[in-house]
Every structure is written in structure tokens, then in C-alpha cells.
Chain A
């Protein structure tokens, strides 16, 4: 059993000795063998072998240096930044009602999470009792969507599970930049289709097969560089969806080569709107970087209906480790500064703000909305619900849980019937928890929390951090 389950080849059966042998150096720590072992014989823990303790030259540093010396190449990794940087969500606490304002009981009162993404009119024109203006809006039943997970980076079964769950719950999944396989086109009403620098699979049919179109400028895990799908993962069906030869690396260019400036972005935004008859909102996704506020302002003025920002904790199927761990800005800070800037310029209402990058739980979502987001994208959290254990080997094409692989033997381990139910369970659980938190604050519609930073307080933060976040310290 364990030999079959491990794609990394840790376990082998020695016929002569009639016993299982484990090569622990190959183990990724994904826990697949331990979970499925019928006799409970396997325990996977941290490898006790290590170099001499050194605060500065850690085991990770030493291992990386040796790997580079051997390969002469850029070290790749998967998943999001795992470094112990400050997690601002954990330094923000939420408010609740007492006495002067009753808390609202979500079991007994309506509690509304429905959210609309898109550009809102500055003034609603009504003629003969009917609204006559307004840009396209996408409705989601809770302010949580699935982040871009491209076909190729994840298996077809994994993407289908996300699509099914999105449809069942009334939210969106995101095709990523790898095109939308034919089989998923029936989920068009719940799809965000991406147009990234590689333009894989982009044609008018693909763009129309969506609820929203997203221009991907950057990704939180690798700001400044393009997508990377290792050739090992480019199977025949991936080749069909991406329109590239089997077995070749799909390396998206770092910039979009038709966007070297904000006016070029405007051209692409309107090209996509033309291609979709102005019926779908166009989102522009950027990585959270130093100038995110100014860039976001430009994006809104360029005509985008949604601005998506992906923070430094954002996940990836494959990225240079040095970029993942060192480039970008925490999403909490980027969100606060973008929202503040758009408000200061009086254009916040002209777009929706979607944030991504390491959302771990429903409280993170509620805090993001109070900071000013309309909705969040979750990637890693969804993958974990599907079975992922964050072993960070996504870039190898081997995923023993069948998620981040295109190997048919491994990917059939994802049964969309079961896995989509797990994703639905996750979103339902978060939805209930968000309602509890809203009710506690005396709010029964999510829009009344949006940007309502009075409901947040900071704990253990310095003045500049509180200032950027736009929240008072606890007790203030």
C-alpha cells in the first residue's frame, strides 16, 4: 500500500528480505502513507538528523546551498511563503456589541453575505421606475472565491472539484492561466477566466465562457515574473488546453508584452470588454508591491471593474524560492493602503477590491472586509480542504494527494464527487462563522462591514503599522 501511494519512491518492498524499506531522504512529509496505512505502522515526523545547531546558518540555508551547488540552477518550490514574517491578521482583533447596540443572532435573524463584484455607478439613474445605468455585476453568495489554480498546475479532477463547489455554493472559481478545459465550460457562470502573459488557451470562446475575465499581471508568490509550468506536467490534455507541445515547459513571460504602461493596460481591458460585449466585469490582478496603492488607482482609472491584489503569502504551483520568500508586501498592508488611496481619490466605489494571499480562516476574511475588501480569493485553504498537507512539492509534478499533478495515476485519487463536498463544507463552515462574527458586531449585511475599520483594533502593533492599517490600537 505505502509503496503504491508514494510517488516520491520512499517505500519499496525488498522481496529477498520480505520487508518494506524506507528511504527517508526522499520523503516530502505529505503524510499520504501514514494516513492510508491499514495497520497504522507508519509515522512521519521531522527528520531528527540535522547539522549542528546554528541560528544563522539554518538547515534550510545549508540544504539550499548544497542543492544549488549540485544543480547550478534556480531553486524551485511550491505553496506560499513559509517564513516567520509578521502575520498582521493575528494582530487585529474584532469588535462586538454590548448594551448600547444589540448583537444580532444569526440563528434567528436574516444575515446577508451576498456580494456583487463590479463597477458601481456614481449615481443610479432611474427612469419610469427602472434603473437605466450600471455596469455588469457578478453575484457571489459569500465573499469568498477560489483563487486562480490553473489546469496543469492542478489536476483536471481538482479543478472540476473547485468548479462544482463554486456552483453549488454560488461563488466563483478561477481558471488560472491555463485555459478552461471543455469539460468545465458548463461551469461558465461560476468561472473567472484569466488572460495572463502566456495567453494560453485565450480565444473569444474562452473569454465568453465566464462570469468575469481577469487580466493577470502578477502573483503574490512571484511578483515580477511569469507563470511556470514544468514540462513534466504538460501531458496531452494539458497540451490541448494550453495549445503547446507535450512535455515542454510552459514559461509565461514576466510582463505581458502588450502592456508596458498603464495606457496599454487600458487597451487590453477594453479589448476584453469588446470581446465580451461589455457583459462581464474585467478584473486586473496584481501582486502586492510597494506602489500597489498608486498602481491600483491607475488600474481603476484604466477601466478595470475589479482590482485583485495578491499578497506575499500567496501560494503557487511552482516559483523560484528566492522570489517567493523575499518579494512582495503582506496583503494586510497592501489592502489597507489601496483601499485608503482609492477612497482618498474618491474612486473606491468605482471598483471592487478582491484580495488574496494566505487567507487561513473565516476571521481573516472578516478582518479583510473590515479593512476594505469586497471579497477574498482562497487558494491554499481550499487545497488543504481537498487533502493537501503543504509538503511544498507542487513543482515536481508529483502530488500523492492527486491535486497538484497531471499524472493520471496520481490525479485519479481526487474524486470530484467527494472532494467537491469537502470544499462545499469548508465554504459553508466559513459562511456560518462569518455570520456569527457579523451578528456579534450588530451587523446583518456584509456591506455594512466593508471598510468599516472602526470594528477593528490592533494589538502589539507600532504606530506606523496602525497608521497604515488605519485602525486604532486596542483600548483606544
Chain B
């Protein structure tokens, strides 16, 4: 998409901001389940969005093509489609292409053409192929007219657009898909025109982020990730969260828990009181990655292959509720939608600020209050 900033940030504000509803549901045994509870939960939180953006990320989406990368692409003109398809063909082995099935809804208008492509990676060197995907997707998104790739990873996909969450779900016929992780977002933007590409989840490689908040550290975070080659083309703080965790986990090899301690670190007073070895680690993390501290209110749910992570800012200025029951982990802006869709919960709690809730397929839940 040419002039990405102009589309995503038409008034050229410092950043694109908005309040939101977020919801995540994960089957901890990795069984793929229907999204009906997620649609109901989002509908319950309708007041938290204003119809200007909604979306879903589903992991375990394409079980028949588990090894292929699925590219979901928006086109605003036939010419854009031609250009982007030429780019894809030039760089990748596209094994299948099709229009994303949709079912028009009253509340969902001005939609672009929506296509998906399955791309087969070479059998060796998955790391290098990931880099290629990251680079090429960024290039298409910033240089190709009228085309925008909004998800590009294995066995997962993002569906998003302008409308209320329940309408977007119907529009994309999401009741026909199953997944072991469902992330959902309802948007209440305050400074962007309705643009399909601006809806959440924001996805980069297999990361998908749904975010409620406004990062007052955006400028500091942006310049830090840009030092490492990322380009914040959308001017949304959500994008910065995805790049930050990608840098820490994929490129710098930190564990997800540790990465969360960079994004929402303990306060210095707490670090000062830690035993020596822990203190050395936490101090080094804060000193080395001070530009990745996410400041200001946020709650995010981050998905990746086999993992779902919930995190809030360290003084918890945005809500997040976690719950477990029937082998599932739920994360949501509110408790009510979780209770609405699952009457048989084992545990419901409000995670402490800055303490991640991590669900892993086959391993259960990691939540350590002590580390707050």
C-alpha cells in the first residue's frame, strides 16, 4: 500500500490511538474449536468499540496446509492485485490462491477485495525464509499501490475490517473455521478514518497483537525498534508492540517471560530488593532495552504459534481479566463476557500489572505473581 501513513494516520497525528475491547480464548490441549463463544463475548462488549474496526486472529486455522504460509491480502484495485501477485510470484512458491469467502453484512461496507495465498517454504532454512517473508511483506505494504498484506504466517490467519466485531465475524463467515487460539478485537479509534487495514489484530510473521491502550512511550519505542531495522509505517502503537516482542524473542532469543519483563519491567525499588543474581539479570534487561519499556496504559493479548500471552502495563491502567476452565484459558477486557460464554470456570482472576499470563499448548498456564 503506497502512502501507508496517509491511510493509517490521515491527520498525521503523533500516533493512532483508540480504546478497545480485547478477548482471547485458547484451548490448552491444542484442540481446534469453534469461535462462537468469542463472537458472543465480543458482542457483549459492544460498548467498548464504535464500529470503526474489528478483527480476529485464529491459530490452527488451516490444518490441511500446516506447513504453508498463508498470506491474507487486501486490494483496493485490480491493478494493485496484479502488482502484488507479481511480487509474490517473484519471491515465493505460491501453491494456491483464492478469494477469501465473505458474506456481505449491512454493517460492513466499503470492503476491499480480499484474497489469500498459500506459499510453500523451501524445506531447509526456516529462519531465513521467515526473514524473507518479513522483508517482502513490509516491502509490499509500503511500496505496492493498493495492496496490503495483513497476515503472513503458517497455519494462522487474521480477518479484520471496518464494522462491529460480530458483523465482521459474519462477514468473513468465521463460524466455519476452527482454531486453538482465537484473538478478537473491537475498536474505538479516536483519530483515524475507517480503514480496513487499520483494524486489529496487527500481525507480523506469526505474531498477532490485539491491544487496548495508548502508549505514551510510543516515540521512544519507535526509535528503538527502528534502530533494529523495523519500520513503523502505520503509526499505531500496536505495531510497535509486535516489533518489540519479535525483536526480543525471535531475534534476540529471550524467553517470552523475560521479554515481558522488558516490556513491563519491575520498578527499580523492587529490582534493588532482589537476590543478587536475579537483580543482575533484571537490571541488565532494563538498562539494555530501556527503549522498549511500554509506558502508559495498555493491555495486550499476543498470539503466536502454540502460545497466548496477556500483559498489561506495570501499574495496570487498562483492564485485563484471566480465567481458566475446561482446559481453556480466557483473557478479556472484562470478566462478564468470559462468564457469559463459560459458566463452568475454575479460576477467574485479575492479573497484576506487568505480570504476564502465558498459556502454552500442552504445558498449561504460567502466571507468577511473585515476579510482579
Contact = CB atoms under 8 A, between A and B. Distances in A.
B139 to A, nearest CB: 20
B268 A97 contact: no
B296 A110 contact: no
B326 interface: no
B17 to A, nearest CB: 5
B281 A104 contact: no
Nearest to B213: A101
B284 A124 contact: yes
B127 interface: no
A124 B261 CA distance: 14
Interface string A95-139: 001001110100001101010100011011010011100100100
Interface string A321-360: 0000000000000000000000100101100000000000
A124 B293 CA distance: 15
B371 to A, nearest CB: 13
Contacts of A97: 216, 296
Interface stretch (B23-31, B63-71, B90-98, B220-228): B220-228
Interface string B1-38: 00000000000101101110000000000000000000
Contacts of A112: 267-268
Q: Range of interface residues on chain B? A: 35 or more
Given A349-B227, A442-B216, A443-B216, A126 B258 contact: yes
Contact of B291 (A102, A442, A447): A447
B227 A101 contact: no
Interface stretch (A211-219, A289-297, A449-457): A449-457
A124 to B, nearest CB: 4
B309 to A, nearest CB: 19
B254 A454 contact: no
Nearest to A123: B252
B67 to A, nearest CB: 30
A300 interface: no
B252 A124 contact: yes
A452 B289 contact: no
A453 B220 CA distance: 8
Interface string B270-287: 000000010011001101
Interface string B97-120: 000000000000000000000000
Contacts, number: 114
B190 A100 contact: yes
B223 A454 contact: no
Given A123-B252, A442-B296, A452 B17 contact: no
Contacts of B146: none
Contacts of A476: 12
A101 B216 contact: yes
Nearest to A369: B220
A112 B295 CA distance: 12
B15 to A, nearest CB: 7
B218 interface: yes
B361 interface: no
Contacts of B281: 126, 129-131
B306 interface: no
A450 B285 CA distance: 17
A453 to B, nearest CB: 6
Interface in A436-476: 441-445, 447-455, 472, 476
A454 B218 contact: yes
A124 B289 CA distance: 8
Contact of A124 (B14, B19, B269, B288): B288
A450 B15 contact: no
B296 A443 contact: yes
A130 B287 contact: no
B297 interface: yes
B219 A453 contact: yes
**Of listed A101, A112, A453, residue having the most chain B CB within 10 A:** A101
Contacts of A109: 315
A134 B217 contact: no
A349 B295 contact: no
A126 B224 contact: no
**Of listed B226, B227, B287, residue having the most chain A CB within 10 A:** B287
Interface string B240-283: 00000000000111100010000000011100000001001100
B233 interface: no
A447 B220 contact: yes
Interface string B291-317: 101011100000000000000001101
A453 B14 CA distance: 9
B143 interface: no
A235 to B, nearest CB: 43
A437 to B, nearest CB: 12
B214 interface: yes
A441 B221 CA distance: 15
Contacts of B12: 476
Contacts of B217: 443, 448-449, 452
Contacts of B130: none
A454 B219 contact: yes
List of 3 A-B pairs having minimum Cβ-Cβ separation, nearest first = A448-B217, A452-B219, A448-B295
Interface of B: 12, 14-15, 17-19, 190, 213-214, 216-221, 223-224, 226-227, 251-254, 258, 267-269, 277, 280-281, 284-285, 287-291, 293, 295-297, 314-315, 317
5 contacts: A101-B17, A104-B317, A112-B268, A126-B254, A130-B277
